[in-house]
Amino acid sequence: METLDSTTSVGLIACCECGLPIQPNSANMCSGCLRSKIDITEGISRTCTIYICKFCQRYFVPPNGWMRAELESKELLSICLKKMKPSLMKVRLTDACFVWTEAHSKRIKVKMTVQKEVFSSTILQQTFVVEFTVHNQMCDDCRRSEAKDFWRACVQAHSQCTGVKPVPTGIDFFFAKLQEARKLVDFLLMVLPCKYHYAQRKAGHGFVSKKHGLADVWLVRSNQVGSIFEN
């Protein structure tokens, strides 16, 4: 007795646009005709703007960060893709790479490949190039430095018996970061017999800044302050 082969094969159909034999799909169209009818990159901008600080050469990373990155580096690619993230929410990014541009052109080009399911089990893939224009924008750190308002903490090391310029009774150290000032205070306490007093005052009261932001100040007193800085 012969057995019947129950294996079924899927027949081909003709594309409704060009007549090319294809596997059946919900659109009844070949991939070429689908791409000509549907643009999965619609709504994705082909131009964008990123910012670099011309003083420290760091790129702006939203919402308020700055990062140093070399041209055509993975760090710079990450910055560009983060800038494009809102536009890529409806597609899946599968590949991204730089397209060569002149180093001084203030232009960065990134070729991106995206995919999107347009019908059931029908996925389209497209490749496009986004051009980023690089604009100059001063970062917060450089802006404070240029405005002579770069310090957030101060250590005043004063002596009772000798003077060290530029302060008649000692020397003042200004820091952009609080933890750097604390390290100096810890060092002075370790190497000198001294006492310190901590307070907060308006930075604008000194000669460094005219703004009225609060700054952390340590006043360190020791009769050996002059000797350690002379050495």
Give the pLDDT confidence score for residue 210 in this predicted structure: 46
The answer to whether 177 and 197 are in contact (CB under 8 A) is no
Question: Average pLDDT for residues 45-67, to the nearest whole number?
Answer: 91
Tens of pLDDT, residues 77-122? 999 999 999 989 989 999 999 999 988 899 999 999 999 888 767 7
The answer to whether 101 and 107 are in contact (CB under 8 A) is yes
The answer to whether 26 and 109 are in contact (CB under 8 A) is no
Find the range with the poorest average confidence among 27-31, 37-41, 144-148.
144-148
Task: Calculate the alpha carbon distances from 158 to 59, 151, 175, 181 in Å.
Answer: 40, 19, 17, 15
The answer to whether 158 and 169 are in contact (CB under 8 A) is yes
Tens of pLDDT, residues 69-79? 999 999 999 99
Give the pLDDT confidence score for residue 208 in this predicted structure: 43
Q: What share of the chain is helix, strand, coil (3-state, %, to 5)?
A: 25, 35, 40
Give the pLDDT confidence score for residue 158 in this predicted structure: 56
Query: Where do the structural domains in the chain lie, given as residue ranges?
Result: 40-141, 157-198
Give the pLDDT confidence score for residue 190 in this predicted structure: 76
Find the range with the poorest average confidence among 22-26, 44-48, 63-67, 190-194.
190-194
Give the pLDDT confidence score for residue 227 in this predicted structure: 52
Query: Taking 50 as the threshold, does the pLDDT of residue 136 lie above it?
Result: yes
Name residue, tokens 């308002």.
Answer: 149
Task: Calculate the alpha carbon distances from 133 to 65, 98, 103, 129, 157 in Å.
Answer: 19, 14, 12, 13, 48
Query: Taking 60 as the threshold, does the pLDDT of residue 1 lie above it?
Result: no
pLDDT category at 49 given cuts 50, 70, 90 is very high
Give the pLDDT confidence score for residue 205 in this predicted structure: 43
Give the pLDDT confidence score for residue 207 in this predicted structure: 40
Question: Average pLDDT for residues 60-66, to the nearest whole number?
Answer: 88
Query: Taking 70 as the threshold, does the pLDDT of residue 202 lie above it?
Result: no
Amino acid in position 30: C
Query: Taking 60 as the threshold, does the pLDDT of residue 13 lie above it?
Result: yes
* Closest C-alpha among 132, 158, 1 to residue 78: 132
Query: Taking 60 as the threshold, does the pLDDT of residue 56 lie above it?
Result: yes
- What's the CATH fold of domain 40-141? Nuclear Transport Factor 2; Chain: A, (3.10.450)
Give the pLDDT confidence score for residue 31 in this predicted structure: 75
